Structure 1
Amino acid sequence: MEKITEGKIRLAQASKLPAIPYKLKGTKIIVFDTETTGVTEDDEIIQLSIIDGNGKTLINEYVHPYWKKDWAAAARVNGITPEMVKDAPYPHDLIPKVKGIFEAADLLIAYNNQFDLSFLRRWGISDSGKEQYDVMLEFAQEYGEWNEYFGDYKWQKLSTAASYYGYKFKAHDSLEDVRATLYVYKKLQAQESEL
């Protein structure tokens, strides 16, 4: 418990670091994704990828967590082990650049964006005043599988959305995920423009 507290203090300090200004070229769109040690408030980002609306990679980094030392369940899903991140940058090494990229963007795109944003907000990344597009929610309507219990369309995995449009990729690698997300986003936009 002591390591978690110390790690959270370090993260709180790191989240206050100022942004490094960033200039997006030719687009004001970013697509982002994280891989994490789990899904709770005590979990951390262990991979972060951001591309622009043209598919250019802006960040693709493993991240050394402050307090988590083992995440066997998450590693079975995303394949990222403690050994793979032991020499990776810590959040404070990345936060200023990430803040600058988010500040430069007008449109934030992700697949299940509230999950990723919940982790990035702990880094001090602001999405305030930014237009957002959650590809998962938009694709759920396109796919059309109704969930009686929730009274809404059932959320689908990114792999289902990508496959629906004929796109193949290696899921649970954040760079592969953002590329697939951008692809599905563009397909959804093309369909909307046809209406």
Structure 2
Amino acid sequence: MVAGAPYPHELLPQLVEIFSEMSVCIGYNTSLDLGFLDRIGVPTEHLTVIDVMQRFVDYLNANGGTHRRASLSTCTKYFDYKWEGTAHNSLADAKATLYCYNMMKVIK
């Protein structure tokens, strides 16, 4: 899948520019991705981070659960999301995350 793809250090200037212009980051299990970006030198400490996974876990726990984590697949099933593409594809996962984020804004 990644054969021929650029290495992270080759994309670093672009990533730094993109993230420097951002103020909010919405994602699923953001600590994983932001940790990777921090390790390769992309500053993210200025971002307001909205972790959809944490919001989903908090929602489940407020309703009687005892969860520490929940997969994106679990979250999408809960909200009856119809996948556009294949799970674990970056664009499909981003669309699923946005859907779940919007659903949780409705139920709050």
Q: What is the distance in 1 between the residues matched to 2:68 and 2:81? A: 21
How far apart are the structure 1 equivalents of 2:82 and 2:106?
19
Query: How far is the alpha carbon of 1:112 from its aligned partner?
Result: 0.8
Rounded to whole Å, the distance in 2 between the matches of 1:85 and 1:139 is 30
Secondary structure of 2:35's aligned partner: helix
Q: Residue 154 of structure 1: CA displacement?
A: 3.2
CA-to-aligned-CA distance 1:45-85 (integer Å, 9 cap, x gap)? xxxxxxxxxxxxxxxxxxxxxxxxxxxxxxxxxxxxxxx32
Would you say 1:154 and 2:68 are equivalent positions? yes
The number of equivalent residue pairs is 104
Give the Cα–Cα distance (whole angstroms) in 2 for the partners of residues 92 and 134 of structure 1: 26
Runs of 4+ in 1 over 2 A off after TM superposition: 143-147
CA RMSD of aligned residues (A): 1.6
Q: Confirm or deny that 1:103 pairs with 2:24.
A: no
Instruction: Indicate the percent of aligned positions where both proteins have the same amino acid.
Output: 38
Task: Please say if 1:173 is aligned against 2:89.
Answer: yes
Q: Deviations over 1:75-112 (max 9, x none)?
A: xxxxxxxxx32211121332211111111111111111
Deviation at 1:146, TM superposition (A): 2.9
Instruction: Report the CA distance between 1:118 and its aligned residue.
Output: 1.2
Q: Note the C-alpha offset of 1:187.
A: 1.2
Q: How far apart, in 2, do the equivalents of 1:154 and 1:92 lie?
A: 33
Displacement of 1:120 in angstroms is: 1.1
Higher Cα Rg, which structure: 1
Q: Show structure 1 runs of 5+ residues with no match.
A: 1-83, 148-152
1:46 maps to none
The normalised TM-score by structure 1 is: 0.49
